[in-house]
C-alpha cells in the first residue's frame, strides 16, 4: 500500500476511503482489481480496508462506521467489546455510536444514540474513539436486562475499581430508577459474569444476600476462598463455570476442597450457567434446604 494511503488508514483504525485511494495514485481499475483478488475488502460503500489488517472483523466495522459518521464515538455494546466488558443477551448486530447533536435512530446496521458526552468520557482505544469504561458501564446499565447489566457494571468495577465514583456520578445523572437499581446491586468483587448473574438470581428468589469471595478456615488451616458465603447459616454457594475446571487435576482439587468444607461443618450448594440464565428455582430450593438443615442441627 502506498505510504500516504497507509498513513490515512492508520489514522482511521485501518479503514480508508475510495477518494483517499484515488488521491494516493490508485486508479479505479486498480481498486477494483485489489477488491477482486482479496487484497482489499469493502466494508461499506466507498470504505475499504486491507484484508490482512491487524484488526478483527468487528473492529474494522467499527472503524468504518466512525469514518462514515464524523465526530461519532463508539458506545454501548460496541464500546463494551472494545473494553472487554461482557454484553450478555441477544446480540443486536448493530454498531452503536454516540454522535454529538445527533438524534437516536437505527439504519443500515448502525444505532445512533442521542446521549451527550463529557469530553472526559471519551477515550481512544486502538485509534478508535470510544466511550470511557465508566460511561460504557452506565450506558449498558440503561439498556440491558437487569442481570446482564449488573454483570457488565461488575466487570467494569472489577477491571478498574477507581472508576466507581464516576460510575455513581454518571448514574445519578440518568433518568429512571433502572440504572440506580443496577448500580445498587453491582459489586466489583464478583469474579465472573456467572457470579454476577448468580447474585441477582439469589436476590430475586428472596434469599439473604451472601458475602462474596470470602476465605474459609483460619491461618493455621486455611481451606480456601468461596464464591458465596452465608456465615450465619454455615452455607457455601459455588458457581461452577467451565473455566473453573481446565484439567482433571482442577476437578480433583475442587473435590478435596469441598470435602474439607463439609468436614468443617459447611453445607455446599453448587449451580451452573444454565441455572443462572434459565430457571434458578431448583438451585434456590437447594439453598433453602441447606439453610434448613443447618438450622435443624443447632
Domain boundaries, the chain: 3-56, 69-185, 193-297
Residue range 6-53, pLDDT digits in tens: 766 765 667 788 887 887 778 888 888 888 777 787 777 777 877 654
Residue 279 above 70 pLDDT?
A: yes
Residue 298: predicted pLDDT:
62
Quote the pTM value. 0.78
Cell 435443624 belongs to residue: 296
Neighbours of 63 (CB within 10 A): 26
Residue 54 above 50 pLDDT?
A: no
Q: What is the mean pLDDT of the chain?
A: 86
Handedness of CA 66, 71, 76, 82 (dihedral sign): positive
Nearest of 131, 10, 15, 138 to residue 67 by alpha carbon:
15
Residues 6+ apart with CB under 8 A from 8: 16, 17, 20, 24
- Among the residue ranges 209-223, 233-247, 280-294, the one predicted with the least confidence is 233-247
The alpha-helical segments, DSSP class H, found in 24-69 are 28-36, 57-68
Most confident region among 25-34, 68-77, 156-165 by mean pLDDT: 156-165
Q: Which CATH number fits domain 193-297: 3.30.70.260, 3.90.1150.10, 3.40.50.2300, 3.40.960.10?
A: 3.40.960.10
> At CA 176, angle to CA 172 and CA 177, rounded to 5?
80
Residue 55: predicted pLDDT:
43
Residue 3 above 80 pLDDT?
A: no
> At CA 107, angle to CA 84 and CA 11, rounded to 5?
50
Residue 243: predicted pLDDT:
60
Using CA atoms, how far apart are residues 5 and 22, in angstroms rounded to an integer? 9
Residue 56 above 80 pLDDT?
A: no
Contacts 24+ apart (CB under 8 A), 122-126: 122/73, 125/82, 125/83, 126/13, 126/55, 126/59, 126/82
Neighbours of 252 (CB within 10 A): 11
Share of the chain above pLDDT 70, in %: 91
> At CA 287, angle to CA 285 and CA 293, rounded to 5?
105
Between residues 298 and 193, the one the model is more confident about: 193
Amino acid at each position: 500500500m502506498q505510504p500516504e494511503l497507509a498513513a490515512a488508514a492508520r489514522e482511521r483504525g485501518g479503514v480508508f476511503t475510495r477518494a483517499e485511494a484515488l488521491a494516493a495514485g490508485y486508479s479505479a481499475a486498480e481498486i477494483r482489481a485489489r477488491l477482486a483478488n482479496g487484497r482489499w475488502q469493502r466494508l461499506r460503500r466507498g470504505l475499504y480496508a486491507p484484508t490482512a489488517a491487524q484488526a478483527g472483523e468487528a473492529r474494522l466495522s467499527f472503524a468504518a462506521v466512525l469514518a462514515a459518521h464524523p465526530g461519532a464515538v463508539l458506545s454501548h455494546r460496541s464500546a463494551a467489546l472494545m473494553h472487554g466488558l461482557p454484553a450478555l443477551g441477544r446480540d443486536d448486530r448493530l454498531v452503536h455510536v454516540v454522535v454529538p447533536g445527533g438524534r437516536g435512530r437505527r439504519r443500515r446496521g448502525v444505532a445512533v444514540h442521542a446521549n451527550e458526552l463529557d469530553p472526559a468520557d471519551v477515550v481512544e482505544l486502538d485509534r478508535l474513539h470510544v466511550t470511557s469504561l465508566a460511561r460504557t458501564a452506565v450506558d449498558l446499565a440503561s439498556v440491558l436486562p437487569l442481570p446482564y447489566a449488573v454483570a457488565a457494571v461488575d466487570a467494569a468495577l472489577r477491571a478498574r475499581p477507581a472508576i466507581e465514583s464516576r460510575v455513581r456520578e454518571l448514574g445519578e445523572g440518568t433518568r429512571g430508577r433502572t440504572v440506580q437499581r443496577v448500580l445498587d446491586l453491582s459489586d466489583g468483587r464478583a469474579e465472573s459474569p456467572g457470579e454476577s448473574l448468580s447474585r441477582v438470581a439469589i436476590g430475586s428468589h428472596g434469599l439473604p444476600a451472601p458475602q462474596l469471595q470470602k476465605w474459609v478456615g483460619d491461618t493455621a488451616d486455611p481451606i480456601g476462598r468461596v464464591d458465596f458465603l452465608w456465615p450465619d447459616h454455615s452455607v457455601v454457594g459455588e458457581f461452577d463455570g467451565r473455566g473453573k475446571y481446565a484439567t482433571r487435576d482442577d476437578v480433583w482439587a475442587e473435590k478435596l476442597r469441598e470435602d474439607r468444607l463439609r468436614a468443617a461443618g459447611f453445607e455446599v450448594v453448587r449451580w451452573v450457567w444454565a441455572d443462572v440464565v434459565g430457571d434458578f428455582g431448583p438451585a434456590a430450593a437447594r439453598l433453602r434446604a441447606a439453610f434448613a438443615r443447618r438450622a435443624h442441627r443447632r
